[in-house]
Chains A and B, each alone.
Chain A
Amino acid sequence: MSDRVVLKVGPALAAATKAGIEPYGAKPRRVLSGRNIMLYGTLTLAALYYLLPLYVMVVTSMKGMPEIRLGNIFSPPLEVTFEPWAKAWASACTGLNCDGLSRGFWNSVRITIPSTLISILVASVNGYALANWKFKGADVFFTILIVGAFIPYQVMIYPIVIVLREMGIYGTLTGLVIVHTIFGMPILTLLFRNYFSSLPEELFKAARIDGAGFWQIYFRIMLPMSLPIFVVAMILQITGIWNDFLFGVVFTRPEYYPMTVQLNNIVNSVQGVKEYNVNMAATLLTGAVPLIVYFVSGRLFVRGIAAGAVKG
């Protein structure tokens, strides 16, 4: 695209035409047209509104408390300090103990990694079975699963508590991993089912003629062909599980609380003086993982959302 700014305006052009210059070639285009000002102006304003909270978080987390009490929340820090970050990470208090967010961070890591892997493994095999090896009644279960995605979690939470308690894993990380696998299943199964169904059926037939069975086709044909969709599923799950609050608070004991629960406890704890800079540093730290995943993955994240949108 040419960056040349052609500043010919309407009347001049008309005059030129009158003077015998025929319109020829590319039509002169103005960069600063009213339409463009409206268009980019509105978009930029909206973008500023969306960026504002992130900006406020960053500047607040780098100010000292005295400066916060004096200044306004939008002003950049006069004196940049990383003390709030250190405190948020290592020594902020939640009720009884004061070892900061780091424990929640590592808990979240220990929850997110196995939950993501297991939920994707289970759901991809489900989706593959539904797409290529449909057995009688499979669609009934799948329909229940998809309808279940719309049922509020609150309706199913207590029965799950009972089941986990019976299995002796209520309050443990294992229990929480199972819960994430269960509630990730509808959307992921749908994602994988749709993806595997979109692959040419003849490929599957060819593999069967070649004598490959259920698992051979899955591991040797389908899996290597489907890496992008696995990445999409991973993005979906990492951000979703990291951001979870309800399951973390219901299904784990305080020593296993994920980062989100711990963050909420730090910020909304009623004891002591409110340290807004530490709170914002803690908030940023908690949001950092999904934000990094989001900025790195870019278009794949959007694809995951679009896939999530087809549910129903």
Chain B
Amino acid sequence: MKGQVHTGRPSKLLRNLSSKIASIPMVLTAVVIFLGGTVWTVVYSFTNSKLLPRANFVGLDQYERLWDAPRWIMSIQNLAIYGVLTLIFSLVMGFLLAALMDQKIRFENTFRTIFLYPFALSFIVTGLVWQWILNPEFGVQSVVRSLGWETFAFDPLYNSDIVIYGVLIAGLWQGTGLVMCLLLAGLRGIDEDIWKASRVDGIPMWKTYLFIIIPMMRPVFITTLVIIASGIVKVYDLVVAQTSGGPGISSEVPAKYVYDYMFQAQNLGQGFAASTMMLVTVAIIIVPWAYLEFGGRKRV
């Protein structure tokens, strides 16, 4: 029977051909843009490219200049303050809202729609609205003063010491709804029987949340954390719209630094070095998480 005619096994390359052809866009994107582009940027961050990329390597010059630049230091500080506070507030507020929403309330859909709608908006829109609300001449400050509290001062967008908190308020307004939604989905994923058991055992609700539910939701919290964190590093539009980095340089962020050096100051090398630092920042967040999430799984 061995010699009988049958269609031969096609060559390795041609097997599953349609699937391979269909995947060309994905392969190109992954290899050329994501992998190739990243490597290219990192490599060219060691050059002194100005208006056009040139392979003229100058070692760590760009990085030295970067860490000497007050504007970059300010950007990093702002990112750290904005990042830490965003994480804390959006997780705490998001969880509180989610826990309230999980009490089998009426109008749940209405509340959710209200909490989440800012997330559907552009950061530009968010930035401009809060620029208006925080306007010291017409906004919150003037309204409070007109109510009789003459010395009330809240002008974050004009005060370089607190301007980043003004951005934070807008960022939280836009993003907390998402956190609430993710955590609510996590709460709904908890087995009903856990609640029944804790009720039968007579454990107060806040204790159940603190000692049973939250630990059970660890994976949801970690995923949410990673999503918020990777969003924080990318923050750009919000600052551009709300403050344009001002007053002065007091609300600059790394993403804006990169853009300005690449496309306006025509100092590509600086832009590449700064974007490489952003990549490092993300890696610091992602790698431990990926290790815990995927590396640790094998041991279990």
Chain A residues within CB distance 8 Å of chain B: 39-40, 42-43, 46-47, 49-54, 56-57, 60, 68-69, 72-74, 122, 125-126, 128-130, 133-135, 138, 141-142, 144-145, 147-148, 150-160, 162-163, 181-182, 185, 189, 213-215, 239, 242-246, 250, 260, 263-264, 267-268, 276, 279-280, 283, 286-287, 290-291, 293-295, 298, 301-302, 305-306, 308-312
Interface bits B142-167 vs A (CB < 8 Å: 1, else 0): 11001000000000000000000000
**B38: Cβ under 8 A from any A Cβ:** yes
Q: B279 touching A158 by the CB < 8 A rule?
A: no
In the bound complex, what is the Cα–Cα distance between A122 and B25 (angstroms)? Answer: 7
Asked whether A185 and B26 contact (CB < 8 A) given A152-B275, A246-B236, A263-B128, the answer is yes
How far is A185 from B237 in the complex, measured between Cα atoms in Å?
21
Residues of A within 8 A of B241 (CB): 245, 264, 267-268
24 A-B Cβ contacts within 8 A? A42-B100, A46-B97, A50-B173, A53-B126, A130-B23, A135-B23, A150-B230, A152-B279, A154-B262, A154-B271, A155-B38, A159-B37, A214-B19, A243-B125, A250-B259, A260-B124, A264-B124, A264-B128, A286-B125, A295-B113, A305-B178, A305-B181, A309-B227, A312-B293
Contact status B255-A154, CB under 8 Å: yes
Residue from the list A47, A157, A239, A245 in contact with B237, Cβ < 8 A: A245
A122 CA / B28 CA spacing, docked (Å): 12
Do the beta carbons of A73 and B133 come within 8 Å of each other? yes
In the A-B complex, the 8 residue pairs with the closest CB atoms: A148-B34, A214-B18, A243-B122, A159-B37, A133-B19, A294-B120, A144-B30, A156-B37
- Whether a CB of chain A sits under 8 angstroms from the CB of B212 is no
Tell me how many residue pairs across A and B have CB atoms closer than 8 Å.
264
Looking at chain A's contact residues, the main secondary structure is helix
- Once A40-B105, A280-B132, A294-B120 are accepted as A-B contacts, the answer to whether A185 and B97 lie under 8 Å apart by CB is no
Interface contact B33-A43, CB-CB below 8 Å = no
Known: A40-B105, A152-B255, A298-B109. A158 touches B240 (CB 8 A): no
Contact of A243 (CB < 8 Å), options: B35, B97, B121, B255: B121
Partner of A155, one of B112, B123, B275: B275
Interface size on B, residues (CB 8 A): 98
* Chain B residues with a Cβ under 8 A of chain A: 15-16, 18-20, 22-23, 25-27, 29-38, 40-42, 44, 53, 96-97, 100-101, 103, 105, 109, 111-126, 128-133, 135, 138-140, 142-143, 146, 173, 177-178, 181-182, 185, 223-224, 226-227, 230, 233-234, 236-237, 240-241, 244, 254-255, 258-259, 262-263, 268, 271-272, 274-276, 278-279, 282, 286, 289-290, 293
* List of A residues within 8 angstroms of B126 by Cβ: 53
- A-chain residues with CB within 8 Å of residue B129 when the two chains form the complex: 53, 56-57, 280, 283
